[in-house]
Chain A
Amino acid sequence: MPIRRALRRLSLTLGALAASAALLAGCSAAAASTPDRTTDATSSAGFPVTLHNAYGDVTIASKPSRVAALGYADVALASALDANVVVAPQSFSALSGADSDPNLPYVDPLPEGTTWINPMNVNVELVAAARPDVILATAGFTLDQALYEQLSDIAPVVTYEKQLYAATSEDSARRVATALGESKAADELIDKADAAIADLRKELPNLDGGTFLYGQARDGVVVMLVEEANVTARFMHRLGLVALPAVAELGGAGSVPGAIDVSFEQARLFDDAGVLFMTYQSDALREAFEDNPIVAAQPIMESRYVPVGLETATALQDPNVVAVPWLLDRLRPGLELVPAS
């Protein structure tokens, strides 16, 4: 019995770690991926094209006409690049039952015949039944070698080049665009995201040099995304914000790369942040955080504490260029709270 319970706990823990890494951004960003010299990154007619995947090279013979997208950034980019998306991942809101629409809020409605899959547990048979001629999994957070090989039997699979969430959003956009033969359109999307960020920084000069904290509450600890290597923290940095040094410099281990786990007992440190963005895996965890006597006593909880919804948190884990304008709109009320430095 104890062994069985221990195994159950272990499996739940591993599951939690995997999902947490996915949800909260195991998004450590190593060096930006370098453009693939074997591909034609400028011409939409440059097929066949070969891409280096983390799981092996893939060659796409001709411009895809039926695209399966397994990750959120994949579907957002493919849709924005006018690809014919036949497989798309259900949003976390739909998966959790909070919303009936499986589509992401920043993605144009997809065709009625779209096959919706659970990105946390990809059903290969469903993907095969949709008869895609390319499978995009640059943001497929449950991808591994075995799944890659299964999917490769269906169609060419495009994954991340080195590791999940390691590439910049610009490189990811160019990678997907290369696979779809829409490189020029990708540059337009990148420019649009850059312009949205520039406009926001212009409208909110208080962001320049301001501080932020962004964390996910677990039982008794907050997983704070503070390190520059984390793609979410880096996105905040692009807005002009820096992670609150008092927390960022605490050191210690984080549940996900680029993060620091901080006990609720240290909540008084949070008070100095320009804004405290928080996300939760469940209402019970939110209740436990907000009702914690030490947390509740901090003035920031009344003034600059901003709970972040599920889809915003999902977009923040990997802020792809398509999501950026929508994401900024969602974050703006919180960003306006940041005191001018």
Chain B
Amino acid sequence: MSPARQGATAADRVATTRSGRGHSGRGRSLAAAAVLLVILALLLAASVLIGSRPVPPDRIPGLLLGTADADLLTLVNEVRIPRTIAAALVGAALAWAGTLMQAMTRNPLAEPGILGVGSGAAFTVTIALSWFGVRSALGIAAASVLGAAVMTVVVLALGLRGSADGSRLILAGVAFSMTISGVQLGITLLDPRALDAMRGWSAGSLATPDPAVLWISLPLLAVGATIALLLRRPLDALSLGDDLARSLGSHPLRTRGGVAVAAALLVGAATAIAGPIGFVGLIVPHLVRPFTGPGTAQVLLVSTFVGAVLMLAADVVGRIALWPGELPVGVVTAAIGAPILLLLVRGRR
């Protein structure tokens, strides 16, 4: 069979996949999205109203009209609403990053951390704390984004050198991640002040989101999401294998590079807002695919809601689990993420 014919066949398969699975898949996606929208709306309301200091229902009209007590208005407007926005953004961003990584590597266990993005962020935050004395939330967030970006570039440079193979990229990510994690551990052990500061950051929390960090993260998230959207079709082609993807006019190397940049921006910004949050990027695509099918666009669409829902739910649970204290959201996602993953694995058998 000629290469042209092979390409045409592959294109037909993709087209068939899109059209055949597309109509039912799109319908299911829309239905799932509708249900998720309702759940999301409920969780958004819960996130604003529930916490260590609950908002009594009879105060809601006053809050909406701006006539409630000043301290209640402060609680809702300056703490709960920014926190809710932060949770939704972080959840969606991590879910997108996980979707991209799994599509790019064709590995169901891939997640943003596999490129070492989180380790890179943790490393530069440690350096910033220990060597440069950075103490402000904004400075730590900037270090986090910088670390994610630098790590991505380094891993890309080595992982994609002369090869578009995703497994090489994973190996490079894992190797560098372990290396810098070891160095980071050494630094924190030698510098108790950095260790103290890292303790809070490494737990992953939305308790005190800095509005300045939120604003700075928005353009990064927007750029990352835009790149991801532009790559949705090349990623679908890549799911057929590199050779077929090439025959369809896709560039595996370029696609993987683009995915890595998008993932770095999304994870870097999410980490800047909330610190390292585990499991969300890993499990959300698995929760979504049974309803949407494998098409990247549909998975991304529904992942937005599922990621936001998961983070909001985890954050609300964290607020009341240890009342009158709070549990960092990263602890909650880790606690609920592992059982969910096990259930998914069990369900697949």
Binding site for B on A (CB under 8 A): 1-2, 4-6, 8-9, 12-13, 15-16, 19, 92, 95-98, 120-121, 218-221, 250-255, 260-266, 268, 281-285, 287-288, 292-294, 297
Contacts and interface: CB of A to CB of B under 8 A. Distances in A.
B79 A294 contact: yes
Given A5-B113, A13-B203, A264-B208, 12 more contacts: A97-B191, A97-B193, A219-B200, A219-B208, A263-B326, A264-B52, A265-B53, A265-B75, A283-B197, A285-B200, A292-B79, A294-B71
Interface in B50-93: 51-53, 70-71, 74-75, 78-79
Contacts of B208: 219-220, 264, 288, 292
Contact of B174 (A1, A9, A293): A1
Given A5-B276, A6-B278, A293-B79, A15 B195 contact: yes
24 contacts: A1-B114, A2-B111, A4-B178, A4-B181, A9-B334, A13-B331, A16-B199, A92-B192, A96-B196, A219-B205, A220-B208, A250-B324, A252-B323, A252-B325, A263-B51, A264-B52, A265-B75, A282-B135, A282-B200, A283-B135, A285-B197, A288-B208, A293-B79, A294-B71
Contacts of B278: 2, 5-6, 9
B326 A261 contact: yes
A255 B279 CA distance: 25
Contacts of B53: 263, 265-266, 268
For the residues of B in contact with A, the DSSP-based class is helix
A219 B329 CA distance: 11
Contacts of B136: 284, 287
Contacts of B113: 1-2, 5
B234 interface: no
A9, A252, A262: which has the most chain B beta carbons within 10 Å? A9
Contacts of A287: 135-137
A261 B322 contact: yes
B178 to A, nearest CB: 8
| Max count, chain B CB within 10 A of own CB: residue among A1, A95, A251 | A1
Interface in B101-125: 109, 111, 113-114, 118
The listed residue with most B CB atoms (<10 A of its CB), out of A4, A220, A284, is A220
Interface in B133-166: 135-137, 140
Interface of B: 51-53, 70-71, 74-75, 78-79, 109, 111, 113-114, 118, 135-137, 140, 174, 177-178, 181, 189, 191-193, 195-203, 205, 207-208, 276, 278-279, 282, 319, 322-326, 328, 330-331, 334, 337-338, 341
A287 B208 CA distance: 10
B196 A282 contact: yes
Contacts of A284: 135-137, 140, 197, 200-201
Nearest to A255: B325
Contacts of B203: 9, 12-13, 219
B324 A252 contact: yes
A5 B276 CA distance: 9
A261 B334 contact: no
A293 B324 contact: no
A6 B335 CA distance: 10
A266 B181 CA distance: 36
A147 B206 CA distance: 38
Contacts of A281: 196-197, 199-200
A1 B276 CA distance: 13
Contact of A293 (B78, B200, B276, B319): B78
Contacts of A255: 325
A92 to B, nearest CB: 8
A266 B200 contact: no
Contacts of A220: 205, 207-208, 326, 328
A263 B325 contact: yes
A294 B197 CA distance: 23
A267 B75 CA distance: 10
A253 B322 contact: yes
A218 B200 contact: yes
A251 B324 CA distance: 8
A254 B322 CA distance: 9
Nearest to B334: A6
